[in-house]
């Protein structure tokens, strides 16, 4: 089976082996046999699954690897960064186009986006493993189209279709391949690289809420042109990402899905931990502007709290990623869930403007670990790097069902009780449960509960 016959994908050490083989005119070894032998004899080669040649270790750096990171960062800036500004849309819809709808009904739009962008990974992850980065290019076009359609929506069902379904689907086709491609190029520094990639969403979560809030509340542009301006900003970034992201391994020619993954206890426990964390972590990002308004803040300033939270999450994604490579991916993911739960529980105790700013910084930093941490934790569930996209896609698809129900459930509580206390308790306890399950998942690793897993 030809695994990597192209010398450009084999790395410098393998090229030397190929040069020796070519120089021997009497060598009758086939390209397939030679490539397999070279891969197996390369220093540090990783053992592959039964019957498949091993692979050289990940470069953990270099121009090509960092170009992939740059492209993936642009994707997360444009996708998850934009979704992180849904709190601005929530507050705006409640007082404008959808003022006749309840808060939980409006939050379903953002929840559906969050759900589909991760659930769609069940398909887009395997597609990436099988066909490579080509899936990113049509998705980029579809995403810009979805934003343009959102800009002309007026009815609830139109927002659900354009901003909920279409944008969520295109995001899933962009984000999961971006995660998987970065994971192919990094091993020892994988958590740090993924943290850097997801920090793009934090930067987007700073820029988009401020820009949207200013355009919606402080200019005469109106809703339509405010959203279109965001689409024009996103377009060149996605164009760059479409050509910057590549793969290191040849496509996986086996089944599209790997059902046997769901028989692995470690994989199931990591998914369960991510599910609980996702159930609670989105609550502040959906409702902190609305909560701040009830505490007397002006709408524009309340929207800035999202930008503050996302700015803090930049450090919460990069710094824990670096730490995770040294002290264990599951350790950092579990700790992030634990801290997020504690901070979310404190929401209703924050009453002043200064307190809300500090709270936004805390919740942003704490929750910043969860998405990048969940992805890096899932990556420890398989030893075959060609299956990373499939494992991440399937795992995040299951975990994303929590993001579908979490914010609307909180919205129902807010509407029923007329306050945010019950919603904060629900979300905070969910994150704490995720931390407990993540720590328990360490028992399935060779390092054990107290090891660096």
What pLDDT sits at residue 298?
Answer: 81
d(CA 355, CA 374): 29
Backbone dihedral region of 51: left (phi > 0), alpha (psi from -120 to 50 degrees) or beta?
left
Instruction: Report pLDDT digits (tens) over 301-348.
Output: 887 887 788 788 878 777 877 787 777 788 888 999 999 999 999 998
d(CA 299, CA 155): 23
Residue 393 has pLDDT above 90, yes or no: no
Q: Looking up tokens 């990783």, which residue turns up? A: 46
CB atoms within 10 A of CB 399: 26
What pLDDT sits at residue 10?
Answer: 42
Tell me if 339 sits within 8 A of 366, measured CB to CB: yes
Pick the most confident of 86-100, 353-367, 438-452: 353-367
1.20.1250.20, 3.40.50.300, 3.40.50.1400, 2.40.128.50: CATH of 63-248+262-444: 1.20.1250.20
Residue 24 has pLDDT above 70, yes or no: no
What pLDDT sits at residue 367?
Answer: 85
Pick the most confident of 171-185, 250-264, 371-385: 171-185
Q: Which residues are CB-neighbours of 33 under 8 A, at least 6 positions away?
A: none
Question: pTM for the whole thing?
Answer: 0.67
What pLDDT sits at residue 144?
Answer: 94
Instruction: Report pLDDT digits (tens) over 84-125.
Output: 778 788 888 888 888 888 877 888 898 888 788 877 877 777
What pLDDT sits at residue 40?
Answer: 39
Query: What sign results for the dihedral spanned by CA atoms 21, 26, 32, 37?
Result: negative
Residue 197 has pLDDT above 90, yes or no: no
Instruction: Report pLDDT digits (tens) over 44-90.
Output: 333 343 333 456 777 777 888 889 999 999 999 998 888 877 878 88
Confidence band (pLDDT; 50, 70, 90) for 451?
low
Mean pLDDT confidence for 197-209: 82
Higher pLDDT, 31 or 80: 80
Tell me if 76 sits within 8 A of 232, measured CB to CB: no
Lowest mean pLDDT among 13-22, 343-352, 372-381: 13-22
Instruction: Find residue 46's DSSP bridge partners.
Output: 55
DSSP state letters, 382-413: -S-GGGHHHHHHHHHHHHTHHHHHHHHHHHHH
Find the helix packing angle between 388-399 and 353-378, rounded to 10°.
Answer: 140
d(CA 333, CA 367): 10
Residue 15 has pLDDT above 60, yes or no: no
Residue 250 has pLDDT above 60, yes or no: yes
Query: What sign results for the dihedral spanned by CA atoms 13, 15, 18, 24?
Result: negative
What pLDDT sits at residue 108?
Answer: 85
Higher pLDDT, 256 or 247: 247
Tell me if 273 sits within 8 A of 437, measured CB to CB: yes
């Amino acid at each position: 089976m030809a695994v990597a016959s192209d010398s450009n994908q084999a790395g410098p050490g393998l090229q030397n082996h190929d040069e020796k083989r070519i120089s021997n005119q009497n060598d009758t070894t086939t390209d397939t046999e030679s490539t397999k032998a070279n891969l197996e004899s390369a220093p540090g080669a990783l053992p592959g699954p039964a019957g498949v040649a091993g692979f050289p270790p990940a470069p953990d750096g270099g121009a090509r690897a960092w170009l992939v990171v740059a492209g993936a960062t642009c994707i997360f800036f444009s996708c998850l960064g934009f979704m992180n500004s849904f709190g601005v849309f929530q507050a705006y819809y409640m007082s404008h186009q959808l003022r006749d709808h309840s808060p939980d009904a409006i939050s379903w739009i953002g929840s559906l986006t969050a759900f589909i962008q991760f659930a769609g990974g069940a398909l887009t992850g395997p597609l990436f493993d099988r066909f490579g980065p080509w899936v990113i290019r049509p998705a980029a076009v579809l995403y810009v189209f979805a934003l343009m359609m959102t800009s002309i929506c007026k009815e609830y069902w139109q927002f659900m279709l354009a901003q909920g379904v279409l944008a969520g689907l295109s995001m899933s086709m962009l984000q999961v391949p971006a995660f998987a491609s970065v994971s192919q190029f990094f091993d020892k520094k994988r958590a740090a690289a993924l943290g850097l990639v997801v920090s793009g969403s934090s930067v987007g979560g700073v820029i988009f809420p401020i820009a949207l809030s200013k355009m919606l509340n402080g200019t005469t542009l109106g809703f339509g042109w405010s959203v279109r301006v965001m689409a024009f900003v996103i377009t060149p970034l996605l164009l760059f990402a479409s050509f910057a992201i590549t793969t290191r391994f040849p496509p996986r020619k086996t089944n599209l899905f790997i059902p046997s993954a769901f028989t692995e206890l470690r994989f199931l426990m990591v998914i369960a931990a991510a599910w609980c964390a996702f159930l609670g972590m989105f609550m502040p990002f959906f409702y902190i502007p609305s909560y701040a308004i009830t505490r007397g803040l002006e709408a524009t300033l309340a929207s800035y709290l999202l930008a503050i939270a996302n700015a803090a999450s930049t450090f919460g994604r990069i710094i824990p990623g670096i730490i995770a490579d040294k002290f264990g991916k599951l350790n950092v993911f579990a700790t992030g869930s634990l801290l997020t739960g504690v901070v979310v529980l404190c929401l209703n105790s924050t009453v002043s403007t200064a307190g809300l700013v500090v709270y936004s910084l805390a919740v942003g930093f704490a929750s910043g670990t969860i998405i990048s941490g969940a992805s890096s934790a899932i990556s420890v569930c398989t030893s075959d790097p060609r299956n990373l996209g499939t494992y991440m896609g399937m795992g995040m698809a299951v975990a994303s069902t929590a993001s579908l129900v979490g914010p609307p459930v909180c919205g129902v509580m807010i509407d029923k009780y007329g306050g945010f206390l019950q919603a904060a308790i629900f979300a905070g306890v969910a994150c704490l449960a995720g931390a407990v399950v993540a720590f328990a998942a360490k028992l399935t690793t060779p390092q054990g509960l107290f090891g660096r897993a």
